[in-house]
Amino acid sequence: MKALLATLVTLSAFSAHALESHYGKLSQRGHVYTCTLTNKTNNTLDMKYVEFSFLRIGGHGDHEFTVRNRIDERVRTGEKISNSVSQSFVQTAYGCKYIAR
């Protein structure tokens, strides 16, 4: 019984700090990629990270990789958030998302 109770307490602690993904709109100007998201939820979002997914189109190494930047921004309902990252021309972004707590 104590083990079950300890497990439930641990799971509830992890679920309280669970991260959720919100996919943004990706735009490009030169080699700068911008991820933009409008908060359409009924809650303020506590954004912790923005992630850009890239595909390498030349050179050596992994063909797909992710760039994650910590942002720590709160976005209220109806507000817009934008973050940018600059990459070389041998890489192209194909998606982005914000990670909120």
Q: Is residue 14 part of a domain?
A: no
Q: Which domain holds residue 30?
A: 19-100
Q: pLDDT, tens digit, for every residue of 11-36? A: 444 445 689 999 999 999 998 999 99
Bridge pairing between strands 32-38 and 80-86: antiparallel
pLDDT of residue 94: 94
**Residue 75 near residue 47, CB atoms below 8 Å:** yes
Task: Please say if the pLDDT value at position 5 is more than 90.
Answer: no
The helix (run of H) or strand (run of E) holding residue 10 is helix 2-16
Cα-flanking dihedrals φ and ψ of residue 4, to 5°?
A: -65, -45
pLDDT digit string, tens, across residues 51-97: 999 998 776 766 889 999 999 999 999 999 999 999 877 788 999 99
Q: Output the pLDDT for position 98.
A: 98
Side-chain half-sphere exposure of 14, counting CA atoms within 13 A: 5
Number of other CB atoms surrounding residue 16 within 10 Å: 8
Does some domain include residue 68?
A: yes
Whether 8 maps to a domain, the answer reads no
CA–CA gap between residue 6 and residue 40 (Å, rounded): 36
Residue 81 lies in a domain: yes
- Total structural domains within the chain: 1
